Amino acid sequence: MIQTTNGHSSIKLAPLAPLLDDARRFLVEHLPWSPLDFVPGISRRGDRAIHAEELTRPLDEAHDFRFRATLADGAVIGLFAQMLPWDTEFFGYGVAKLDGVFPLEAPTFRPRLQYAAALERLLHKLSHAGARYVWSAVDPRDLALLRALGEVGFSLIETRYFQHGPVRVPEAYERQAIRQATPADVPSLAQAARQTVNPYDRFHADPFLDEHAVGALMEKWVEQSVAGRMADLVLVPDVAAPGAFVTYRYHRDRWSRWGLNLVQGLLSAVSPEFMGWMGKLGPEVNARLRSVGAEYSYGSTQVTNRSIIWFAQEAGANYGKCEHIFRIIL
């Protein structure tokens, strides 16, 4: 049972659904940060708009846990959370995500606001609806939310490191034998994904999560990526039964709003027999990305993953931001 820490029992939550259009318009103009505002040349307003639309998009009523609350000091905030039906079915218990907490009146950067009591109310509602596991990705600039998550019992389980850089292709480079993955590659790629255990990612770092379930999730991601549902490009060594891969999502539907042809590096794994494969891959991957119009790319790893960070820096990547991943067990 969640214990009240602030004693503000008078705080009430009202459904935000009737006011989502107003909230969207406000957030487009006033969000204090957005997921990719670190990328040079990106339209920050465009990125804010995309983020605001994600926060306020239609959800099934059973999964919608977005609320409006008035804090003890009179500040009006929006709490944006949702039940995750796919994750819930996969893990066999209720999984929910807190997408953010934002003032709904300017200014939106108010680091001294006290969110804890409102968060406790939200967690009670989620728990009552069957949520067992709640997680959140938080920008380090969000001081009020960082503090409140600690106050209500969330644990930090991962700190992510985002990097970015232009998609450049050298005039001359050593060609590599690579190709797009096919469904026939899924068994060997899934095995590589299961074998590549990163103890610092949010799934492997969390002792609450069953190791076998996490391994099965990695395999499912490979299957979904090759099928085109999680990635647009899955590159593998041009051999039978490849044991290494790298995936990208193009995000073409966002290029005009970003004002930048920006693609995202998603997943990668290398089994022991293919060790060193990725070290030669940069120019070849960039050539593939340039062929679809990409100008810039970004991706993330864990801040503890120094070898990947240093490798990317040597290839020309730059630091973008960090992000904290928290979770609580209800």
Helix ranges (DSSP H) in 196-269? 211-226, 255-258
Q: How confident is the model at residue 200 (pLDDT cuts 50, 70, 90)?
A: very high
Tell me, what's the pLDDT at 4?
A: 46
pLDDT at 103 exceeding the cut of 90: yes
Sign of CA dihedral 58, 132, 191, 187: negative
Mean pLDDT computed over 179-185? 96
Tell me, what's the pLDDT at 172?
A: 82
pLDDT at 7 exceeding the cut of 60: no
Q: How far apart are CA 119 and CA 151, in angstroms?
A: 10
280: left (phi over 0), alpha (psi -120 to 50) or beta: alpha
- State if pTM tops 0.75: yes
104-136: per-residue pLDDT in tens? 999 999 999 999 999 999 999 999 999 999 999
What is the rounded average pLDDT for all residues in the chain? 94
Mean pLDDT computed over 137-163? 98
Closest listed residue to residue 57, CA positions, set 82, 40, 35? 82
Q: How far apart are CA 262 and CA 166, in angstroms?
A: 9
At which residue do the structure tokens 């041009």 appear? 238
Q: How far apart are CA 215 and CA 80, in angstroms?
A: 29
For residues 90 and 9, which has the higher predicted lDDT (pLDDT)? Answer: 90
Tell me, what's the pLDDT at 171?
A: 84
Q: How far apart are CA 134 and CA 150, in angstroms?
A: 14
Q: How confident is the model at residue 6 (pLDDT cuts 50, 70, 90)?
A: very low
311-325: per-residue pLDDT in tens? 888 888 999 999 999
Q: How confident is the model at residue 196 (pLDDT cuts 50, 70, 90)?
A: confident
Percent of the chain with pLDDT over 90: 85
Q: How confident is the model at residue 9 (pLDDT cuts 50, 70, 90)?
A: low
Q: How confident is the model at residue 199 (pLDDT cuts 50, 70, 90)?
A: very high
Tell me, what's the pLDDT at 294?
A: 97
Question: CA end-to-end span of the chain, whole Å?
Answer: 7
For residues 49 and 270, which has the higher predicted lDDT (pLDDT)? Answer: 49
* CA of residue 319 relative to chain centroid, distance: 17
Helix ranges (DSSP H) in the chain? 20-30, 44-55, 85-91, 116-128, 143-152, 186-195, 211-226, 255-258, 282-291, 306-314
For residues 195 and 326, which has the higher predicted lDDT (pLDDT)? Answer: 326
Mean pLDDT computed over 168-191? 91
